[in-house]
């Protein structure tokens, strides 16, 4: 995740910028109930990667459930 805006997270997808809906990301949990900083996983069955921050933008890819997404900056 490169940045977040209006409930959308900007990511690097196959060398291009793309956006995914932040509500479908879960922070990685570590034993003992803590969280690992920077690591997220897709928690939807499938998550569209879009060219812009909104459903009106075209789909440029698809992430499946469990795909790891690393936060680069917040």
Q: What is the pLDDT of residue 41?
A: 92
Please indicate, yes or no, whether the overall pTM of this predicted structure exceeds 0.85: no
- Residues 12-51: tens digit of each pLDDT: 888 888 899 989 998 876 666 665 556 789 999 999 999 9
Q: What is the pLDDT of residue 73?
A: 43
C-alpha distance from residue 37 to each of 15, 26, 30, 47, 74 (Å): 23, 12, 10, 22, 11
């Amino acid at each position: 995740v490169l940045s977040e805006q209006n409930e959308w997270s900007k990511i690097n997808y196959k060398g291009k910028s793309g956006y995914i809906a932040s509500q479908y990301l879960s922070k990685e949990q570590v034993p003992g109930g803590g969280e690992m900083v920077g690591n997220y996983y897709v928690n939807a069955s499938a998550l569209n990667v879009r060219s812009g921050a909104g459903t009106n933008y075209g789909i440029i890819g698809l992430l499946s459930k469990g795909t790891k997404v690393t936060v680069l900056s917040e």
